[in-house]
Amino acid sequence: MFGTQGLCCLFTNPLARERIVKERRAAFKRVEKALGTYDSTKLPRCYSETSREDLFEQGLEMGKACLDDMLEHNHEHFVWVTPRYNLVNAR
Write the pLDDT tens digit of every residue in 17-66. Answer: 778 888 888 998 999 899 888 887 877 766 777 788 887 888 888 889 99
CA dist., res. 25 & res. 27, Å (int): 5
In the chain, DSSP assigns E strands to none
Q: Which residue has the higher pLDDT, 64 or 80?
A: 64
> Is the confidence at residue 72, as pLDDT, over 90?
yes
Q: For residue 47, give every residue at least 6 positions away whose Cβ sits within 8 Å of its Cβ, in sequence order, or none.
A: none
Q: Specify the pTM.
A: 0.63
What pLDDT shows up at residue 91?
47
Q: Can you tell me the distance from the alpha carbon of 47 to that of 66, in angstroms, rounded to the nearest whole number?
A: 21
Q: How far is CA 17 from CA 50, 69, 72, in A?
A: 37, 21, 22
Q: Are 24 and 77 in contact (CB under 8 A)?
A: yes
